[in-house]
Amino acid sequence: MKANSIGKKTFKVITKQKAVVAIIVMMVMMLFFDTKFYTAYSMLEMLRSAAILEIVAFGVTVAVICGGCDLSVGGTLCLGGILAIMVMNAGLPIWLAFVVALAAGAVVGFINGFLVVQQKCEPFIITLGMGMLLKGICQQITNAHPLGCKNPGFMDISNAKFFGSVPSLVVYMLVLGAAFYYLMRYTSYGRNCYAIGGNYDVAKYSGIKVIPIKWTAFVISAMTATLAGVLLSSRMNTGNSVYGDTTGMLVNCGVVIGGTSFAGGEGGILQSFIGLMAVQMLSACMSALSVDGFWQKLIEGLMIVAIIAADCYSRKRKRENV
């Protein structure tokens, strides 16, 4: 009986802290291989590679905590980068390119919010369709070709280094992460998001303005995605309709790995950060071990299926225990 109780407690800890457990397992595993995984350069590069996805995840986390999800972020990211470059190629300043991209994100988020919150559409289907629509728009705008930036200063935004060796993208990620952490943990807006995700009807009857708050969550998610798109285009110095092809699934799965359930009302920014780092570390480990790209896609696909299945099971158990 005692062993059974310990086993149940261990299983509960693993399921709640699966991202932390996954990171520890991968780090221990890499100790047995002769790679350059444990170097300062490798760690910083892994953080830089994860930065764009992490920034997108911060916005998505807000929507998920409210009881929604946002699979349109890949297309939104793509659109943001392309619009920013088009603005700069027209001879306009960089700051205006950011404004235009963020405004486009606000429009996308407004439409998502209207359909999900106001019209009661299923967020998974609506945002998936919106992402496909935006990718199609991006392909039409660019004629499915990379769009180079003529502004020489644009590339410096995402490729500069602070303190001599810290990539600027890592700094942006940490600053935005801290801002979102404060928003969700220490403001009334964040507390209301948790209340809405935890029980929509109770939140509504307790006086919380559920419709504008949940609607705003989708706007925040989309605007964050367009910001990430501009930063990605700055890093590559191009806008491309292929950017963000797998972003929606990877980000939402990373958020769930971290402990922010699609059921809403639980999780947080720090958990999402850890979850995305687990996803990025898996990719980094496979690359360090020279795993074939086809196998990497297969493993990532299996991970997505397993995570979604586990979250659905968790939601079912939660409903049964109510």
List, in order, residues 6 or more apart from 70 with CB less than 8 Å away: 59, 60, 63, 64, 112, 123, 127, 218, 221, 222, 225, 248, 252
Query: Is pLDDT above 50 for 115?
Result: yes
Could you identify the residue written with the tokens 């285009």? 233
Residue range 153-170, pLDDT digits in tens: 999 999 999 888 889 999
Asked if residue 306 has pLDDT above 80, the reply is no
Position with higher pLDDT, 309 vs 91: 91
Of 114, 141, 130, 101, the closest CA to residue 233 belongs to: 101
In tens, the pLDDT along 14-23 reads 555 667 777 7
Helix (H) or strand (E) holding 162: strand 161-162
Residue 13 is predicted with a pLDDT of 47
With bands split at pLDDT 50, 70 and 90, how would you rate the model's confidence at 320? low
Q: Which of 173, 189, 154 is nearest to 66 (CA)?
A: 189
> Within a domain: residue 240?
yes
CB of 19 within 8 A of CB of 259?
A: yes
Structure tokens at 98: 């950011």
Residue 44 lies in a domain: yes
Question: To which residue do tokens 């502004």 refer?
Answer: 151
- Identify whether 66 is part of a domain: yes
Band of residue 311 on the pLDDT scale cut at 50, 70, 90: low
Q: What percent of the chain has pLDDT over 70?
A: 89
Give the pLDDT band of residue 74 (cuts 50, 70, 90). very high
What local confidence, expressed as pLDDT, does residue 217 receive? 96
pLDDT higher than 70, residue 262: yes
pLDDT of residue 16: 58
Calpha distance 267→265 (Å, rounded): 7
What's the pLDDT score for residue 250? Answer: 84
Spatial distance between the Cα atoms of 16 and 9, rounded to a whole number of angstroms:
11
pLDDT by residue (tens digit) across 83-101? 999 999 999 999 999 999 9
Mean pLDDT along residues 219-245:
94
DSSP notation for 262-305:
TTSS---HHHHHHHHHHHHHHHHHHHHTT--HHHHHHHHHHHHH
Domain presence at residue 207: yes
Q: Is residue 147 part of a domain?
A: yes
Provide the pLDDT for residue 131.
Answer: 94
* Total domains, the chain: 1
**DSSP result, 93-147:** -HHHHHHHHHHHHHHHHHHHHIIIIIS---HHHHHHHHHHHHHHHHHHHHTTS-E
Q: What element of type H or E holds 161?
A: strand 161-162
- Evaluate whether residue 306 is within a structural domain: no
pTM to 2 decimals? 0.88
Arithmetic mean of pLDDT over the chain: 86
| pLDDT over 50 (residue 314) | yes
CATH number of 173's domain: 1.10.3470
Identify the CA nearest to 253 among candidates 216, 290, 232, 278: 278
Q: What is the pLDDT of residue 5?
A: 55
100 is a domain residue = yes
Contact yes or no for 236/166 (Cβ under 8 A): no
The answer to whether position 30 is within a domain reads no
User: Mean pLDDT over residues 64-70, rounded?
Assistant: 92
Expressed as residue numbers, the domain containing 70 is: 40-262+272-292
End-to-end CA distance of the chain: 26
Q: What mean pLDDT comes out for the span 182-198? A: 94
Residue 278 confidence class, pLDDT cut points 50, 70, 90: confident
